[in-house]
Amino acid sequence: MTELHWRVFITRHDLPRPQTPDPLMDLLWDLDEWLDENGIDDGTPYLISPEGRYDVELNSYFTSELAASPEDTQRAHAYDLKMWLTFLWISRGRKDWRHADTDDRAAYKRWRTSDPRGPHVDPVTWDREVATVNTFYKWATHPKRTYAAENPIVQREARVHPSRGGRHSTAMTPAETSHTGPRNEVVWLTPQMYRAWRDVGLRGYTPKGLADRSFRGRFGSRNATYSDMMIRTGLRLCEQTSLSLFELPHPVAGKANVRTWLPWPIAKYGSARWVYLPSSSLKATWDYVEEDRAEAVEDARDSGVYDRIRNPLIISDPANPFVEIDGQRITVDKLGHAERRRLLIDTPDGLEPAALWLNEQGLPSARSCWQEVFKAANRRCIRHRLNLRAHPHALRHSFAVITLEQLWRGHIQDMAAMNPGQRQTHQMIFGDPLNWVRLRLGHRSVVTTLRYLHALQELEMETRLALIPADWEPTAAPAEPEPALETTPA
């Protein structure tokens, strides 16, 4: 039976090859060589049609236009395009995306947002899907390619501020964007809420703080340590998952925070930056390295897991971490996500991965592994009737809101007693708390970080609302009316 939906696949080296006596088939199945020759990295998505066909022009979007984009961005585009292409195939009878028109897009919008049989996606999701499909068709209709006849997304002139020279620049943007999405809404947890979610969802406790005998999780300590690092540093899922042992500093006596450098190949959008690790989180991470992680590595060595890795990148001297690639010496801080997954350290006890976070098999964990960890934790909270949910980005939001609140509070207190000259000096030395948080999060623009100020404003209003008395009527008895003055008749 033919599958009616488009499907998303992810490129990966070392796939098993089918056993066949036909030498031509063996040649066709030499995928590793083909991927290397075309410069396609592991983790690059591609789409297969319901008929099982690989569209070269369609998939070149990922190998050319999006090749330098973060893996998360590539996958998000792939799944948004999959939804659009499947709709064209099933509901509009279009097997060729090149001929989609504005009527197709209007029908798609009705189904996605208002059709009783549709998913009723929220405005933010719809705006993202519009932007994805628009970007794809702008690429496909470019004069250098002309893969598609037209862009089905209706365009309008964007409202662009004048340039420094006073002239207005012209730009086009999708006219179908909703402009109504809750752009300032930030999902975050207070420290108390986070601890309750972590202890019940990840560590296997009941809401009352007792050990739950029904908990079957084997890696609760590892998962809680990973989660703690995320909420205390603001790292993205892709960034934290690709950390190596060489990015994990040792605790420093007397220091509440120890910083480490996040190199640009694993920092989203190349936002290399200093990351500050609280001493408590750092200690817990080293405990994980020396206990749970060491046990997983030992089991993997005994099973010969590391000996079966094809094309490994081996560091022979951990004190001088580099590998040889095509005759060139490359240091670890220059390696990307895919290369780090096959990076091994040659130790006196044998090989072990350089990756900090390992799965149950002793191999570098994947982002999908951690996404499932969060989903399982949320399911446990539901079973225990704990009304708390979390996902990796919510922990990143939590770091931003809590850190910004603390910094602003101290900043305002410091400046309250200063005169204008002292305030200016203070700003020059200590900077702006908002910009500091921007740097920690790896945002390219402070505009992105501004939404966390909105969360603080909402928090302030909630605090003030809590101070409103429950009884609006005065509790004291009304005063007696003064007696009328008596007058003597004339």
| Residue 223 vs residue 184, higher pLDDT | 223
Query: 241-245, 266-270, 315-319, 385-389: which range is least confident on average?
Result: 266-270
pLDDT mean over 296-312: 93
Q: What is the DSSP string of 247-306?
A: G-PPP-TT-SEEEEEE-GGGSGGG--EEEEEEHHHHHHHHHHIIIIIHHHHHHHHHTTTG
Architecture per CATH, 191-383: Orthogonal Bundle (1.10)
Most confident of 59-73, 175-189, 236-250: 236-250
Sign of CA dihedral 473, 474, 476, 479: negative
- Which of 341, 248, 250, 360 shows the shortest CA–CA distance to 297? 360
pLDDT mean over 248-254: 94
Residue extents of the structural domains in the chain? 7-174, 191-383, 394-463
**What confidence tens digit (pLDDT) does each residue in 5-37 have?**
999 998 876 555 545 555 544 544 566 666 666
Answer for the pair 426, 417: CB distance below 8 angstroms, yes or no.
no
SS3 content of the chain, % helix, strand, coil (to 5): 45, 10, 40
Answer for the pair 115, 127: CB distance below 8 angstroms, yes or no.
no
pLDDT band at 207 (very low <50, low <70, confident <90, very high): very high
CA dihedral 433, 414, 453, 274 (to 10 degrees): 20
Q: Kindly report the number of other CB atoms within 10 A of residue 128's CB atom.
A: 16
pLDDT band at 480 (very low <50, low <70, confident <90, very high): low
CA atoms within 13 A on the CB side of 193: 15
The answer on pLDDT for 489 being more than 50 is: no
Q: Distance between CA atoms of 368 and 159, rounded to whole angstroms?
A: 39
Q: Distance between CA atoms of 122 and 104, rounded to whole angstroms?
A: 20
**Crossing angle, helix 392-416 and helix 191-201, to 10 degrees?**
160
Between CA 307 and CA 312, with CA 309 as vertex, the angle to 5 degrees is: 105
Q: Distance between CA atoms of 174 and 164, rounded to whole angstroms?
A: 25
Query: 41-50, 171-180, 478-487: which range is least confident on average?
Result: 478-487
Phi, psi of 347 (to 5 degrees): -110, 165
**Crossing angle, helix 392-416 and helix 451-466, to 10 degrees?**
70
Query: 83-92, 236-245, 281-290, 398-407: which range is least confident on average?
Result: 398-407
pLDDT at 429: 53
**What confidence tens digit (pLDDT) does each residue in 434-469 have?**
777 888 888 888 778 777 776 766 666 665 555 555
Most confident of 156-170, 285-299, 391-405, 469-483: 285-299
Question: Residue 254 carries which side chain, given as an amino acid letter?
Answer: G
Most confident of 110-124, 183-197, 375-389, 473-487: 375-389
Answer for the pair 337, 266: CB distance below 8 angstroms, yes or no.
yes
The greatest distance separating any two alpha carbons of the chain, rounded to the nearest whole angstrom, comes to 133
Residue 273 makes CB contacts below 8 A (sequence gap 6+) with 261, 262, 267, 439, 440, 442
C-alpha dist (Å) from residue 92 to 105, 198, 391: 10, 46, 35
- Which of 78, 95, 65 shows the shortest CA–CA distance to 11? 78
Tokens encoding 401 = 């809101």
pLDDT at 437: 80
DSSP state of 483: P
pLDDT at 1: 39
Arithmetic mean of pLDDT over the chain: 83
C-alpha dist (Å) from residue 415 to 400, 408, 420, 432, 454: 22, 10, 9, 12, 22
Tokens encoding 459 = 């928090």
Q: Distance between CA atoms of 351 and 346, rounded to whole angstroms?
A: 5
pLDDT mean over 209-232: 92
Most confident of 65-79, 153-167, 262-276, 393-407: 262-276
C-alpha dist (Å) from residue 367 to 115, 246, 359: 34, 20, 11
